[in-house]
Amino acid sequence: MTVEMIIKAVIYVLLAPFIGGTLAGVDRVFAARMQGRQGPPLFQPFYDVAKLLSKQTTVVNSIQVLFVTVYLIFTIFTGALFFAGGDMLLVFFALSMSEVMLVLAAFSSNGPYSIMGAQRELLQMMCYEPMTLLVAIGFYYANGSFMVNDLIKAEIPAIVQIPGFFIGFVFILIIKLRKSPFDLSTSHHMHQEMVKGLTTDLSGGNLALVEIAEWYDLVLMMGIVGMFFITANPISRVWAVLAVIIVFFLETLIDNLFPRVKYQTMLKVTWSVILIFAGTNLLILNVLK
């Protein structure tokens, strides 16, 4: 790993929680305006985390603390590897491992809502994990490398060659960011029967770590969206930022328009979108190659 890669990784580790927390605040404000409400202040997510950190942390068992801590570490490592220019495949594998840690933390509590949330999270992983792997494969087909440092030096944006992968990835972001209609395992809203589900038995500092990890994860997801538009041309960064803004607000819009669905519908719809868009795009790439 070069000095430049280390610097990029450090910058991500330091800035991502502030950017992610701010984006979470923007999401809340935008959602409130759509519903005709005043909504919370922009920096409410930071106030919430500060309050959680000041509260007493009650744990069911010590292993739960370990799983939550490892979940945060893996999430940070995943984003740092991506923004440092590392291997895209390793990024997604590490991301999967981080999600497994959160599921194990929920299972370890033996609480009925936590276990239900963990089971639903595994179902959600079955939906979006294949698409994340396909995205890495799509970038390889487009530019002949899994390394992010190589991908950002492409002559033409990846979106030109793999638009189907982009559509599939934007779709599974609804699940990954736990937006309605696919927020089955846990939710920030009061429209489902077990609101916090996966994180029901987490409190205080543990819950704060999960919130911070989600901020890191949000920045990573938006970074991957931007990757579809970045090339060796510096002006492409502008297009990438615009794409990220559009996708971010699109996800919030969808979150506020659609009611939550059952897991059977989520599986059918998600796999249909993956097969139709990403599958067709992959077939076309194979034929052209």
Which pLDDT tens digit goes with each residue over 250-280? 999 999 888 888 889 999 999 999 999 999 9
Rounded to the nearest 10 degrees, the angle between the axes of helix 163-176 and helix 280-288 is 150
The values of phi and psi at residue 272, to 5°, are: -65, -45
Rounded to the nearest 10 degrees, the angle between the axes of helix 204-227 and helix 62-83 is 20
Query: Averaged over 100-128, what is the pLDDT?
Result: 91
Region of 85 (left: φ > 0; alpha: ψ -120 to 50; beta: rest) is left
CB 187 within 8 A of CB 180: yes
Query: Averaged over 131-142, what is the pLDDT?
Result: 91
> How much is the pLDDT for 195?
66
pTM of the full structure: 0.94
Question: In sequence order, what are the residues at sequence separation of 6 or more whose Cβ sits closer than 8 angstroms to the Cβ of residue 261?
Answer: 181, 182, 269
Q: Which of 264, 120, 250, 280 has the alpha carbon at shortest distance from 192? A: 120
More confident residue, 189 or 198: 198
Number of C-alpha atoms within 13 angstroms, CB side, residue 63?
A: 9
Q: How confident is the model at residue 169 (pLDDT cuts 50, 70, 90)?
A: very high
Omega cis (within 30) before 41: no
CB 281 within 8 A of CB 138: yes
Query: Averaged over 177-190, what is the pLDDT?
Result: 82
Q: For the chain, what percent of residues have pLDDT higher than 70?
A: 97
